[in-house]
């Protein structure tokens, strides 16, 4: 359900489609199998590319001999570290995270050392998969196996095996004398933390651990590259940002950006995990060497071992409050795994930790720690679910200690318009309290529970971002509209942008055909991430439509021989005003299309913006669950999400984000984790053992779309994609506490861990 329309439409636009549940324009192709995803592209004469990956968690690469593999008939190209020039240290944005080209080149192809099991060491292109596989076996890599470290706390110890001998902890004074695995220490603070805790009448302090989890997109990474003899490259790949892929490949391979044309395939899920490059530069490098197209597709095992995941972490939270429930001080210390290279999402983790609350004295410290695991990639609200899980658990415990309703306690301390967040800004209009109220008003909140059942509530925050966005709109000869966007559509973007374009131009939705253009057909776009694509894309559509509308007004004034201020664009028509109104009939967009050639030529607009004003997003989740005291299995019985969407362009796809995020969070809370052996190897690199939620694991997810319009967006839109994965971890843990009386401080709460906890307390039933 959605709340009433509280926004007025931008000037001259109609409000026919935004807020309705249209059929997505790319839908039919997706239900008939016609839609082409990453691995569905093929070219005549293409070769099969395969990657040789390190079997060791940590090893020096002494030598790589490819001569026997190269001699195998059918092998057309081999690339190793020698094919990728070294890069200077330079940090560039990657989604909401930062990355360093010096590390990127080492992550796509190991150089001095292999730093995790699955780290790429060489790649082969051959005429068949069988030959490529045989060739990989003929590549002789001499390793010097080194001691490894997997756990974040162990990696921080002074005597831990060192991944990078040139990594000195940034953010500490004086600069450490010795290198370590701690890449960075960060801190945010406001007020006087000591004074704040001194004022507290109750203080709760707990330490939590979370396991690394994978984004779990169902489509493995795939890339098809074709480099011509003149050095121009075409690339088809599954990515959240083909302009970013282009930039990375150009940089890593020393090519001109204009020489690389990247087409984003339909993308089979990303969740942040497809904001970086893995196969793409390898495929281009192989194709360049072989002078043939090269196709590369990861296996599921490679996806688990060599891409993603997000950090596992240790988080300590201390929260103080007065007896009547006012938070006086908050402290947290976060230790996040970055994987083999620095750049965990600890920064956003630090910034988000206490963002939902108005607290005078706050201090949060974060550590970015490398260990012998795959380099983490962004995962839906990167970093936030981890720190907010810990905070929401402590808030829940505080509510119980003070005997205050957990929603009331949150309400009492909630950030609202004008609250200064500890991470810096003062909030504008936000909808946090509205989500709490919405949950409290549900029938769910007061429904009865039985023994071994529990109910938990938790809230969550995410910044959302805007960024560079280009959309082109073309009015075709017959009055239909072509829309070209450049941010891959993961979950209904084309529908949303077409709805906005239809409303802006006053044309039927079915007459707008949106596509995601390649890097040569539309201006630069930052990637789909940060919950930005519908937010920024809609702004760019409004801008492009504005150009069309003012152009049509100018044409009408000329045609009708009236002044520009005697015409107006309204509901798809240019109308004469004043005296002119009696002389001429209004002209529709389609009318202009018919006479475009005689009135100034083709009709179109280009929205080129750097979108600002992304509205912060808040959500509150409510969950009922039941624990089986015999097996430790947890069943989710009921789930309700309330989230502020600002304004839902397409309510179904907004609900879909909320439902999907909730279920990903349930998986994170209950079952998903990377399991390592003492040998540093991943033991569950497959969907059977890495247990994501299936349909029978979850109930219907009730979604309440709260709409507190974002005043800085023409349609009031806020990003919606990431917030919903933030609250579930805390909500489920809080429900577990109610069901069992046990505060679970370690994720996942999988059956073995739950069973162990029940046994320790004599609650296990045989």
Partner 1 sequence: MGKHHLTATVNGDEVEFLCETEETLLDVLRDTLHLTGSKEGCASGDCGACSVMLDGRLVCACLVLGCEVGGRRIETIEGMARGEMLHPLQQKFLDHAALQCGICTPGFLVAAKALLETHADPTETEVRYWLAGNLCRCTGYDKIVTAVMDAAAEMRKG
Residues forming the site for partner 1 (CB under 8 A): 21, 23-24, 26-28, 30-37, 39-40, 42, 130, 215-220, 266-271, 297, 299-300, 490-492, 650, 652-653, 655-657, 659-664, 686-688, 692-698, 700-701, 703
Instruction: Say how far apart CA 469 and CA 611 lie, in whole Å.
Output: 7
Nearest distance, CB of residue 530 and partner 1, angstroms: 17
For the bound state, the minimum distance from the C-beta of residue 433 to partner 1, rounded and expressed in Å, comes to 25
For partner 1, the closer CB: 218 or 564: 218
Judged by CB, which is closer to partner 1: 304, or 744?
A: 304
Which 3 state secondary structure label does DSSP give 124? strand
| φ/ψ of residue 221, rounded to 5 | -60, 140
How far are the Cα atoms of 141, 195, 427, 429, 589 from residue 417, in angstroms, in the given order? 59, 26, 5, 5, 41
Least gap, CB of 317 to partner 1 (angstroms):
28
Helix ranges (H only) for 40-85 are: 67-70
Nearer to partner 1, 181 or 657 (CB): 657
With CA atoms as reference, report the closest residue to 686 among 303, 376, 150.
303
Q: At closest approach, how far in Å is the CB of 308 from partner 1?
A: 12
145 vs 218, which CB is nearer to partner 1? 218
Q: In three state form, how does the secondary structure of 324-342 look?
A: CCCEEEEEEEEEEEEECCC
563 CB-near residues (< 8 Å, 6+ apart): 557
Least separation in angstroms between residue 486's CB and partner 1 is 18
φ, ψ of residue 476 to 5 degrees: the values are -75, 175
Nearer to partner 1, 24 or 148 (CB): 24
Smallest distance, partner 1 to C-beta of residue 58, A: 28
Nearer to partner 1, 219 or 368 (CB): 219
Q: How deeply is 690 buried, as exposed, middle or buried, from its count of CB atoms within 10 A (0-12, 13-18, 19+)?
A: buried
Smallest distance, Å, CB 638 to partner 1? 12
Residue number with CB closer to partner 1 (42 or 683) = 42
- The DSSP-derived string for 88-110 is ---EEEETTEEEEHHHHHHHHS-
* Count of Cβ atoms closer than 10 Å to residue 123 Cβ: 29
Structure tokens at 94: 């990657």
Residue 641 Cβ, how far from partner 1 at the closest point, in Å? 9
CA 260 to chain centre: 25
88-to-101, 102, 252 alpha-carbon distances in Å: 7, 5, 11
- The β-bridge partners of 472 are 484, 606
Smaller CB separation from partner 1, 41 or 423? 41
Q: In the complex with partner 1, which residue's Cβ is closer, 91 or 687?
A: 687
Smallest separation, CB 528 to partner 1 (Å) = 11
How far apart are the C-alpha atoms of 554 and 408, rounded to whole Å? 57
């Amino acid at each position: 359900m959605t709340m009433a329309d509280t926004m007025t439409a931008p000037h001259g636009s109609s409000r026919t489609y935004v807020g309705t549940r249209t059929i997505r324009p790319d839908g039919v192709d997706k239900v008939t199998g016609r839609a082409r995803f990453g691995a569905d592209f093929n070219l005549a004469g293409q070769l099969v590319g395969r990657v040789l990956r390190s079997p060791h968690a940590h090893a020096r690469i002494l030598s790589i001999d490819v001569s026997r593999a190269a001699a195998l008939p059918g092998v057309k190209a081999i690339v190793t570290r020698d094919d990728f020039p070294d890069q200077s240290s330079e940090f560039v944005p990657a989604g909401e995270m930062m990355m360093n080209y010096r590390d990127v080149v080492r992550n796509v192809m190991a150089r001095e050392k292999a730093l995790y099991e699955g780290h790429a060491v060489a790649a082969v292109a051959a005429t068949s998969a069988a030959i490529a596989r045989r060739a990989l076996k003929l590549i002789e890599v001499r390793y010097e196996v080194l001691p490894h470290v997997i756990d974040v706390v162990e990696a921080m110890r002074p005597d831990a095996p060192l991944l990078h001998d040139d990594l000195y902890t940034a953010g500490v004074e004086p600069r450490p004398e010795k290198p370590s695995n701690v890449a960075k220490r960060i801190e945010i603070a406001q007020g006087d933390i000591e004074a704040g805790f001194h004022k507290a009448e109750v203080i709760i302090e707990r330490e939590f651990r979370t396991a690394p989890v994978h984004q779990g997109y169902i489509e493995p990474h795939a890339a098809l590259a074709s480099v011509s003899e003149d050095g121009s490259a075409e690339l088809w790949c599954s990515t959240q940002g083909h302009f970013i892929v282009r930039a990375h490949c150009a940089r890593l391979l020393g090519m001109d950006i204009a020489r690389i044309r990247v087409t984003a395939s339909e993308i089979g899920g990303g969740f942040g995990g497809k904001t970086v490059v893995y196969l793409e530069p390898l495929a281009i490098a192989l194709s360049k060497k072989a002078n043939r197209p090269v196709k590369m597709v990861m296996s599921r095992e490679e996806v688990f071992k060599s891409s993603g995941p997000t950090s596992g972490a240790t988080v300590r939270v201390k929260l103080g409050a007065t007896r009547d429930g006012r938070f006086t001080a908050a402290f947290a210390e976060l230790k996040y795994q970055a994987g083999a290279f620095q750049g965990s999402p600890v920064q956003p983790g630090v910034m988000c930790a206490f963002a939902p609350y108005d607290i005078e004295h706050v201090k949060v410290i974060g550590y970015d720690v490398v260990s012998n695991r795959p380099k983490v990639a962004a995962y839906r609200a990167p970093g936030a679910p981890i720190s907010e899980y810990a905070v929401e658990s402590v808030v829940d415990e505080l509510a119980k200690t003070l005997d205050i309703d957990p929603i009331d306690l949150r309400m009492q301390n909630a950030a609202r318009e004008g609250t200064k967040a500890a991470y810096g800004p003062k909030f504008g209009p936000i909808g946090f309290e509205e989500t709490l109220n919405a949950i409290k008003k549900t029938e769910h909140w007061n429904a009865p529970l039985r023994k071994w059942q529990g109910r938990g509530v938790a809230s969550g925050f995410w910044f959302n971002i805007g960024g560079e966005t280009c959309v082109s709109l073309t009015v075709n000869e017959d009055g239909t509209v072509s829309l070209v966007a450049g941010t891959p559509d993961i979950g209904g973007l084309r529908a949303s942008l077409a709805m906005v374009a239809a409303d802006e131009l006053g044309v039927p939705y079915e007459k707008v055909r949106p596509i995601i253009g390649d890097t040569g057909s539309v201006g630069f776009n930052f990637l789909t991430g940060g919950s930005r694509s519908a937010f920024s894309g809609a702004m760019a559509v409004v801008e492009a439509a504005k150009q069309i509308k003012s152009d049509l007004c100018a044409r009408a004034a000329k045609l009708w021989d009236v002044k520009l201020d005697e015409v107006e664009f309204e509901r798809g028509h240019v109308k004469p005003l004043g005296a002119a109104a009696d002389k001429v009939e209004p002209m529709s967009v389609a009318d202009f299309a018919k006479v475009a050639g005689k009135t100034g030529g083709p009709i179109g607009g280009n929205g080129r913006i750097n979108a600002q004003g992304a509205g912060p997003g808040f959500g509150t989740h409510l969950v009922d669950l039941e624990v089986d005291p015999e097996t430790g299995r947890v069943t989710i019985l009921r789930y309700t999400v309330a989230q502020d969407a600002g304004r839902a362009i397409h309510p179904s796809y907004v609900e879909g984000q909320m439902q999907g995020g909730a279920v990903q969070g349930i998986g994170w809370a209950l079952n998903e984790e990377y399991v390592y052996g003492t040998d540093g190897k991943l033991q569950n690199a497959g969907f059977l053992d890495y247990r994501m939620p299936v349909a029978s694991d979850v109930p219907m997810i009730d979604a309440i779309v709260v709409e507190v319009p974002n005043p800085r967006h023409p349609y009031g839109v806020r990003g919606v994609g990431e917030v919903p994965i933030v609250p579930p971890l805390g909500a489920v843990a809080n429900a577990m506490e109610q069901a069992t009386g046990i505060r679970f401080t370690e994720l996942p709460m999988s059956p073995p861990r739950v069973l162990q906890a029940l046994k320790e307390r004599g609650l296990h039933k045989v």
